[in-house]
Structure 1
């Protein structure tokens, strides 16, 4: 579970391998399913690959296929647990220059100014404000439900 020591964030993939990344929900075929740092869209997850590469194109065709399938399976889990209107998938690597995929649930309650646009249109405070950041007090129940759903689908830590 997340702690006050955020040193694991300096190497999210390495810390996932060593068991120090507290946001890991499940091991997948291609990488780690992790809870997003911010939860203003409940159930937001990220797929971190097992091997750090710059982009999806750096993976072999087989590993790309596994990665993209795992991304969609995370979407299945989030859909089952959170019941969003839809799931948005995105891969950028601009701020954190390594492959990682964002899996964003989108909800009816977001309102028309947001639901029809990318999540990056949300104000900066949604990404850094403590009120939206993952905390066990607010999000542990959701985390446990996501982890249980992964287990039910045959994925474990």
Structure 2
């Protein structure tokens, strides 16, 4: 097996403990750090149940997934202090349910701030200096994990 075989099935590798991007577990799925961190704190919520879209989940499962997505947004706001957080469920490239939750910052180029993150130039998505690194991103992952573990149960009870 290669070093990055976990990328072939991110949900299964998270279940098996082989996905190094896993930050925490929420009731509906795994919180992982995105492969590229040119917007520090960009995370993805991967559901435990691998399905094609949100519509493939029961109403209860959908409610849990969407609530967990917002809890992840709370964590990013608290830890990274961005201007705002954007939420995106696409599935056009990776045809399985997953939600991108990414911070938007005042320091982003002014022409980029009003646009979706997907319209950043390609080099942002391939810059080794912002690529996920278990070492470089350990503190960020720890801070997000700590926020989630201390606040997720409070959200679940409300």
Q: What TM-score range do you get, normalising by the shorter chain?
A: over 0.9
Question: Which whole-Å CA distance do the structure 2 matches of 1:99 and 1:151 have between them?
Answer: 23
Matched residue, 1:101 = 99
Q: Unmatched 5+ residue regions in structure 2?
A: 154-158
Aligned residue for 1:138?
136
1:80 to 78, 81, 84: 78
Query: How many residues are aligned here?
Result: 152
Task: Measure the CA separation in 1 of the matches of 2:72 and 2:152.
Answer: 12
Give the C-alpha shift of residue 143 in structure 1: 1.4
| CA deviation after TM superposition for structure 1 residue 129, in Å | 2.0
Measured against aligned partners, the alpha-carbon deviations of 1:84-133 in whole angstroms (never above 9, x if no partner) come to 00000000111111000000100000032111110011111111221220
Instruction: Compute the TM-score of the two structures, normalised by the length of structure 1.
Output: 0.92
Distance 2:137 2:34 in 1: 11
> What aligned pairs does 1:1-157 form with structure 2 within 5 A after superposition?
5-154=3-152
- Displacement over 2 Å in runs of 4+: none
User: How large is the RMSD of aligned CA atoms in angstroms?
Assistant: 1.3
Report the Cα offset of residue 154 of structure 1: 4.4
